[in-house]
């Protein structure tokens, strides 16, 4: 029975009891105080008329002060009941009677994915599964959250573990069960699923890493800690020592340099396409990618626009890169030295600090609470605290604070104090990623994106997941390529890699005219994603 129905029944019973008691009191009062006899039904009629404020019938005056006070109290009680019954009892009852009933069963399904409890960690995954036409059922105990999910078009079954919801979602025919509740409930759900005969994959999103083993013992196929993965991803964005933005960039060679340069908003290049800018002809550099809104666009095309505040990934000689910086008004390469400022020392921030410290980075931690590892105590939204932490000379700033609104405001403050310092932001809700980018963040990741990619890889396969490609600069020999022009070999079409430079004797060649041909002694530099470079080595094994 619904809660509103129980309350309505309790209200009706209470009103009947109140009417009877007041009628009996009125009977006794009229007989002993007024000297007039009133029967029960007439007394009940009087009390009902008074409490409902509809009138008084034959009884209009009373001589006893006690009776007058009693009738006055009845009148005020009636007014009070009217204002209490409608908003507290009647309106909620009518709303529940007329609103859509929450589904209690999943219907006839097979090979579907069951997600136990919805949250930010699985929101991206749900969208990816539905785009892949994989049937998905969300089990949600919270009625408000369940109604919101239904309004968004998701298939929902209302209920919890205690009311036997696992028996109403065709679990025995499900492909995968994903537990996204508290760690103890995740273990209970997976254990109950195994006991009911479910033999498919059971995946759990774990809050505390120490709970991974107990949940595995409960029957989980695999466990994931999205917050720690998010921390690792943020650390990788902040430091090349954790995960180089350009894999193997340090092995490019003595004459070839890889650099990341931000395009200022006021630059004459901002808004132009690569073809319009003609950077290769004017400076001698080669653009191999562009970071825009935290995503790496690679390989670039002639139509790719140079975005204001975008970060170009360049390959060239030190001289050519210097020429580009002069051409791009006020452009400055991203700083590769200095401390990394981490704001927030919670679970995500702590993981970022741990990873950065392990690889030898200098880390300055800002947090409101004074504890071991915190160097600056204060509010990250206070510019004086940020200046005390030295954001102006930082290599990067990682924002791992609690709320997205604080992250957005802190981004604006950091960009005002240090416009050229990259801001890497942790985001709670995926829908706020774009807003935080507009506030000035260079990279931002949400727990929804991280866990969604992890789970989607497992459920859909890598091809179905959109992941930022990692550029790799590969140094190869010219064996098997000598005598041909790069265009004749169709390297880009066959492998997805681009030839960015050729070392020949003591010279670095980056322009390949019609008369250019590879020579046997050449050292060739090709650039592409990890998959593209593997394709190159497979297509040209002699190199």
Provide the pLDDT for residue 61.
Answer: 73
- 526, 474 in Cβ contact below 8 A? yes
Order of all β-strands in the sheet with 201-205: 156-158, 136-140, 113-116, 176-179, 201-205, 222-224
Provide the pLDDT for residue 465.
Answer: 33
Q: Report the distance separating Cα 44 and Cα 21, nearest Å.
A: 9
Number of continuous H segments (helices) and E segments (strands) in the chain = 20, 22
Provide the pLDDT for residue 58.
Answer: 64
* Parallel/antiparallel/unpaired status of strands 286-292 and 257-262: unpaired
Mean pLDDT of 418-438: 87
What 3-state class would DSSP assign to 259?
strand
| Secondary element (H or E) of residue 502 | strand 498-504
Among 278, 277, 316, residue whose Cα is nearest residue 510: 316
Among 482, 472, 532, residue whose Cα is nearest residue 504: 482
Residue 105 CB partners (closer than 8 Å, separation 6+): 157, 168, 169
* Parallel/antiparallel/unpaired status of strands 376-377 and 363-367: parallel
> Which H, E and C letters describe 88-131, residue by residue?
HHHHHHHHHHHCCCCCCCCCCCCCCEEEECCCHHHHHHHHHHHH
Q: How many CB atoms lie within 10 A of CB 124?
A: 20
- 314, 334 in Cβ contact below 8 A? no
Q: Report the distance separating Cα 108 and Cα 110, nearest Å.
A: 7
- 288, 248 in Cβ contact below 8 A? no
Mean pLDDT of 474-491: 88
The residue among 309 and 223 whose pLDDT is bigger is 223
Mean pLDDT of 511-517: 86
Provide the pLDDT for residue 197.
Answer: 92
Provide the pLDDT for residue 195.
Answer: 94
Provide the pLDDT for residue 266.
Answer: 74
- Reported as a pLDDT band with limits 50, 70 and 90, residue 83 is confident
Mean pLDDT of 160-164: 90
Residue 319 reports pLDDT greater than 90: no
The token duo for 371 is 């504890």
Provide the pLDDT for residue 98.
Answer: 52
Provide the pLDDT for residue 215.
Answer: 95
- Domain covering 340-464 assigned CATH 3.40.50.720 in the classification: yes
Provide the pLDDT for residue 467.
Answer: 35
The yes-or-no answer to whether 3-98 and 113-224 have a common fold is no
The residue among 171 and 331 whose pLDDT is bigger is 171
Residue 459 reports pLDDT greater than 70: yes
| Secondary element (H or E) of residue 213 | helix 212-217
| Secondary element (H or E) of residue 41 | helix 40-51
Q: What is the CATH topology of the domain spanning 113-224? A: Rossmann fold (3.40.50)
- 22, 51 in Cβ contact below 8 A? yes
231-249 pLDDT, tens digit each: 888 887 788 676 555 444 4
Is the pTM higher than 0.75? The answer reads no
Provide the pLDDT for residue 238.
Answer: 83
The structure tokens 């000598």 sit at 482
Provide the pLDDT for residue 464.
Answer: 34
Q: How many CB atoms lie within 10 A of CB 55?
A: 9
Residue 271 CB partners (closer than 8 Å, separation 6+): 305, 306, 307, 308
The token duo for 432 is 């706020």
The token duo for 412 is 């604006």
CA–chain centroid gap for 265, Å, is 28
- Reported as a pLDDT band with limits 50, 70 and 90, residue 181 is very high
Q: What is the CATH topology of the domain spanning 471-539? A: Alpha-Beta Plaits (3.30.70)
Averaged pLDDT score across all residues of the chain = 84
Q: Report the distance separating Cα 224 and Cα 137, nearest Å.
A: 20
Mean pLDDT of 404-416: 94
The token duo for 203 is 């995946």
Among 299, 212, 185, 317, residue whose Cα is nearest residue 527: 299
Q: Report the distance separating Cα 332 and Cα 322, nearest Å.
A: 10
CA–chain centroid gap for 511, Å, is 43
Mean pLDDT of 81-109: 72
- 366, 389 in Cβ contact below 8 A? yes
Architecture of domain 3-98: Orthogonal Bundle (1.10)
Q: Could you tell me the CA-to-CA distances from 43 to 70, 73, 74, 122, 169 in Å, in that order? A: 13, 16, 13, 63, 56
- 262, 334 in Cβ contact below 8 A? yes
Highest-confidence range of 403-407, 417-421, 475-479, 511-515, by mean pLDDT?
403-407
Residue 324 reports pLDDT greater than 90: no
Mean pLDDT of 205-229: 91
Provide the pLDDT for residue 100.
Answer: 58
Provide the pLDDT for residue 253.
Answer: 62
107-158 pLDDT, tens digit each: 888 999 999 999 888 988 898 888 888 999 999 999 889 989 998 899 999 9
What residue spans define the domains of the chain? 3-98, 113-224, 340-464, 471-539
Q: How many CB atoms lie within 10 A of CB 56?
A: 13
Residue 250 reports pLDDT greater than 60: no
């Amino acid at each position: 029975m619904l809660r509103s129905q129980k309350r309505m029944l309790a209200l009706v019973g209470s009103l009947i009891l109140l009417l009877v008691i007041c009628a009996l009191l009125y009977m006794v009062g009229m007989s002993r105080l007024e000297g007039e006899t009133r029967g029960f039904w007439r007394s009940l009629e009087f009390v009902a008329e008074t409490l409902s404020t509809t009138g008084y019938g034959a009884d209009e005056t009373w001589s006893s002060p006690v009776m007058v006070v009693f009738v006055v109290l009845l009148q005020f009680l009636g007014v009070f009941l009217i204002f209490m019954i409608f908003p507290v009892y009647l309106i909620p009852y009518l709303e529940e009677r007329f609103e859509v009933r929450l589904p209690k069963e999943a219907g006839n399904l097979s090979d579907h994915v069951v997600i136990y409890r919805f949250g930010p960690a699985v929101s991206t995954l749900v969208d990816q599964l539905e785009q892949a036409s994989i049937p998905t059922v969300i089990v949600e105990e919270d009625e408000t959250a369940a109604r919101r999910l239904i309004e968004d078009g998701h298939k929902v079954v209302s209920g919890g573990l205690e009311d036997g919801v696992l028996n109403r979602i065709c679990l025995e025919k499900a492909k995968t069960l994903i537990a996204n509740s508290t760690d103890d409930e995740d273990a209970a759900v997976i254990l109950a699923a195994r006991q009911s005969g479910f033999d498919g994959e059971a995946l759990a999103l774990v809050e505390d890493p120490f709970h991974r083993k107990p949940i595995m013992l409960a029957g989980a196929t695999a466990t994931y800690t999205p917050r720690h993965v998010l921390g690792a991803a943020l650390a990788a964005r902040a430091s090349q020592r954790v995960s180089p933005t350009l894999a193997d960039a340090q092995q490019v060679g003595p004459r070839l340099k890889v650099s990341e340069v931000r395009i200022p908003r006021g630059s004459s290049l901002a808004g132009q396409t690569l073809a319009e800018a003609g950077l290769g002809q004017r400076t001698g550099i080669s653009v191999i990618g562009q970071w825009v809104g935290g995503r790496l666009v690679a390989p670039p095309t002639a139509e790719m626009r140079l975005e204001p505040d975008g970060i170009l990934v360049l390959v060239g000689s030190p001289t050519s890169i210097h020429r580009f910086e002069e051409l791009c008004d006020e452009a400055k390469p991203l700083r590769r030295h200095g401390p990394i400022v981490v704001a927030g020392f919670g679970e995500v921030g702590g993981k970022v600090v741990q990873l950065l410290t392990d690889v030898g980075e200098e880390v300055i931690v800002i947090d409101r609470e004074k504890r071991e590892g915190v160097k600056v105590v204060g509010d990250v939204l206070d510019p004086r605290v940020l200046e005390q932490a030295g954001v102006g000379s930082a290599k990067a700033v990682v924002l791992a604070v609690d709320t997205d609104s604080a992250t957005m405001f802190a981004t604006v403050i950091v960009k005002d104090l240090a416009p050229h310092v990259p801001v890497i932001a942790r985001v709670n809700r995926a829908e706020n990623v774009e807003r935080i980018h507009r506030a000035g963040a260079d990279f931002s990741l949400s727990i929804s994106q991280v866990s969604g990619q992890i789970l989607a890889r497992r459920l859909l396969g890598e091809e179905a997941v959109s992941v930022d490609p990692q550029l790799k600069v590969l140094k190869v020999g010219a064996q098997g390529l000598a005598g041909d022009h790069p265009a004749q070999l169709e390297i880009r079409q066959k492998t997805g890699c681009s030839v960015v430079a050729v070392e020949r004797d003591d010279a670095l060649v980056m322009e390949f005219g019609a008369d250019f041909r590879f020579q046997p002694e050449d050292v060739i530099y090709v650039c592409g994603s990890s998959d593209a470079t593997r394709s190159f080595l497979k297509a040209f094994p002699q190199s």
